[in-house]
Amino acid sequence: MKLIGSGSVAAALSKKEANAQETVAKAARGMPSPKIQDIQVIATAPAGLRLVVVKVITDQPGLYGYGCGTFTQRADLVVPAVEKYLKPLLIGRPADRIDDTWQMCYNSSYWRNGPVLNNAISGVDQALWDIKGRQCGVPVYQLLGGKVREAADCYGHASGSEIPEVIESARAYMAKGFRHVRVQIGVSGMAGYGSRGAAAKVEALHNDPVYEPAVYIRKALKMFEACRTQLGEEIELCHDVHERVTTTQALQFCKDVEKFKLFFFEDPLSPEDIQWFRLIRQQCTTPIAMGELFNSPHEWNPLIAERLIDYIRVHVSQAGGLTPCRKMAILGELFGVRTAWHGPGDVSPVGHAANVALDLVSYNFGVQEYSEFNAASQEVFQGCPVMKNGFLFANEAPGWGIEVNETLAEKYPFTGGVNPRSQNSERNKLNGGWGVIRRRDGAVIKQ
């Protein structure tokens, strides 16, 4: 049987094909399994936002990888989680057993599914995918089965203090070729999400920033009306409520925006109130996006399996990296839920590259959030994904295709910040944290 088998294979192949196969087999044969020799953490803020990137170095010269572990509001805590706990666990282990390594890291703390530990695991996980891509000489998306699309259709962040500014901002994205924009409006004297508020603060019983959900909802509805009237029907509109309204307000809001035919309506509810999604589903057809705050399968599994949301918005490093999110994307495909991975400025370019890899290989991709890489970020992270006409293209170099200039990264330490929530010196003392926003009466609201 063996002779017959080999004979028929030889007959089926031309000499040229057989030679080519032999060359490939020789190149790959006996390729030693790389071992993890060292793990380092790069903490840098080239755009003012605190980014944490993990570098896994193998025992093979020049073979290493980078992974995003950015939890910008508590960035300093991810560093020791990697250095003091994951590094001793992983030194000397094979670098090519990615899921096995993920399971080891995930289970070794016993208590799990928290943002600090998940981001630490993500840094290692994404670095191992980078290493495997570099070892094989292919981009990571090839390791995941290859492209089902050429590039990721993205949405940009249009915003303004008043409606005309929002319209102008959206038009600027449309002029650049974007087919999707997220529109956010400020509320006079209040701390609106995704937009600068007016300087004079409304009267309140405290000195912190003020936010009143009902005032915001009324203004946002006027904004959607103006967007549809002035921007037309072709542009796909997204909006982020940022879990800032009550549950009943959320339900009514979802019904009220139904007529504007949004592409998606994000985080109308907080993760603590996810059971309310059933009521939204029963009462309107507004497409719902949810999940950037999720840490755990206990949160996303029921929403996907019960088909209660339309877009899963998970922050890939927050969920533990590429490995769990690839599984999540496939779960979503089986239940008709599309992906819209979180892509703000507090995801490192390595994390954005991981998002794009998932976008390219997932049939159920919906849209990708896009944040422009500033000049300093592109110098530190060489090989960022490239934006053209609203599409984000992967770097075609092996792995993520990104090389980190570590010397330059050191020139952007965690000081100050351009995040509007931490821009003034009073907020800087919060070390990247977001401070507090209150209703007029002083009650703290979710951010």
Helices (H) then strands (E): counts for the chain: 17, 15
Residue 359: DSSP 8-state: H
Tell me the HSE value of 379 on the side-chain side, using a 13 A CA sphere: 13
Using the minimum distance from each CB to Mg ion, give the nearer residue, 42 or 152: 152
Residues 287-306 that bind Mg ion (CB under 5 A): 292
Using the minimum distance from each CB to Mg ion, give the nearer residue, 153 or 243: 243
User: Annotated catalytic residue: which of 157, 180, 239, 242?
Assistant: 242
User: Annotated catalytic residue: which of 141, 193, 311, 370?
Assistant: 193
User: Is 242 annotated in the active site?
Assistant: yes
CB 143 within 8 A of CB 136: yes
Min separation Cβ 270 and Mg ion, Å: 12
Min separation Cβ 243 and Mg ion, Å: 9
Q: Return the H-helix or E-strand segment holding 392.
A: strand 391-393
Min separation Cβ 106 and Mg ion, Å: 25
In angstroms, the CA 339 to CA 368 distance is 8
Query: Is 346 a residue that touches Mg ion (CB under 5 A)?
Result: no
User: Is 239 annotated in the active site?
Assistant: no
- The count of residues interacting with Mg ion (CB under 5 A) is 2
Query: Is 240 a residue that touches Mg ion (CB under 5 A)?
Result: yes
Using the minimum distance from each CB to Mg ion, give the nearer residue, 153 or 240: 240
Min separation Cβ 194 and Mg ion, Å: 8
Which residue of the chain is nearest Mg ion when measured via CB?
Answer: 240
Using the minimum distance from each CB to Mg ion, give the nearer residue, 212 or 292: 292
Min separation Cβ 266 and Mg ion, Å: 5
Q: Give SS3 for 377.
A: helix
B/e letters for 398-421, b = 16+ CB within 10 Å, e = fewer, are: bbbbbebeeeebeebebeebebeb
String marking each residue 263-292 x if it binds Mg ion according to CB under 5 A: -----------------------------x
Other CB atoms within 10 Å distance of the CB of residue 70:
26
Nearest residue to 357 (alpha-carbon basis) of 397, 313, 297: 397
Q: Return the H-helix or E-strand segment holding 40.
A: strand 36-44
Q: Give SS3 for 22.
A: helix
String marking each residue 175-194 x if it binds Mg ion according to CB under 5 A: --------------------
Using the minimum distance from each CB to Mg ion, give the nearer residue, 55 or 352: 352
Catalytic residues, by residue number, are 193, 242
- Can you give the binding site for Mg ion, defined by CB under 5 A? 240, 292
